[in-house]
Amino acid sequence: MSNYNDPKFPGPDPYAPLKDVPSFPLSSSDFTEGGTFKDEQLGGQDVSPQLSWSDLPEGTKSIAITCFDPDAPTASGFWHWAVFNIPADVTELASGAANDGTLDSLGDVVSLRGDSGSRGYYGPQPPEGHGPHRYLFAVHAVDTEKLDIDPDSTPTVLGFNLYFHSLGRAITWGWHENA
């Protein structure tokens, strides 16, 4: 895994204050870890990247996925995607799955409204001239089949619940800059 804590990025490591949990393999065929995104993944087109994972910790009963920009010019970063209650037997989401109805077909899956105001994936779109931003895709192995979180909650509420229910977490990331 390449290091997403490179000093060229202005924001903090958002996972530093969380408890240490095991990692597992996570990759994307749509971007290289630590690399840039395809145009279709960027804000405005908002095609979520393909993600695949394996070797989840024993006891995993569901999956949550988040995408977070810790470099946004705010005190709290910017949530680009937050979804949970994905069945544990799902090991991959195809490109575009966040917004094409795929997640709706998986049962009790909940997509929260991110900081863009939409309930799906919102691609990288940092402010022009602000510098490079990281986009951290985290797949969380969860110890319960269903997190009982109000669908109108924020991704921060999901993150708080994941602190208590994550058995493992894998992170892959890319970056984008609007020069």
Which residues partner with 171 through β-bridges? 138
Q: What beta strand segments (E) does the chain contain? A: 26-27, 35-36, 51-53, 62-69, 78-87, 92-93, 110-111, 133-142, 166-176
Burial of 39 (0-12, 13-18, 19+ CB in 10 A): exposed
First-to-last C-alpha distance (Å) of the chain:
27
Fold of 26-176: Phosphatidylethanolamine-binding Protein (3.90.280)
pLDDT band for position 2 (50/70/90)? low
By the 8 A CB rule, do 24 and 166 touch?
no
Identify the DSSP state of 48. Answer: P
Q: Global pTM? A: 0.96
Query: pLDDT digits over 18-77, tens only?
Result: 999 999 999 999 999 999 999 999 999 999 999 999 999 999 999 999 999 999 999 999
Q: How far is CA 40 from CA 14, 17, 51, 72, 123, in A?
A: 26, 32, 15, 21, 8
> β-strand 26-27 against 51-53: which pairing, if any?
antiparallel
Furthest C-alpha separation in the chain: 45
Query: pLDDT digits over 119-140, tens only?
Result: 999 999 999 999 999 999 999 9
What are the residue ranges spanned by the domains of the chain? 26-176
Q: CA 147 to CA 96: how far, in whole Å?
A: 24
Q: How far is CA 56 from CA 12, 33, 92, in A?
A: 27, 20, 12
Q: For residue 91, give both structure tokens.
A: 């090991």
Which residues partner with 133 through β-bridges? 176
Number of Cα atoms under 13 Å in the Cβ half of residue 91: 8
Write down the pLDDT at residue 128: 94
Q: Does pLDDT of 178 surpass 70?
A: yes
Q: For residue 147, give both structure tokens.
A: 């997190």
Write down the pLDDT at residue 7: 86
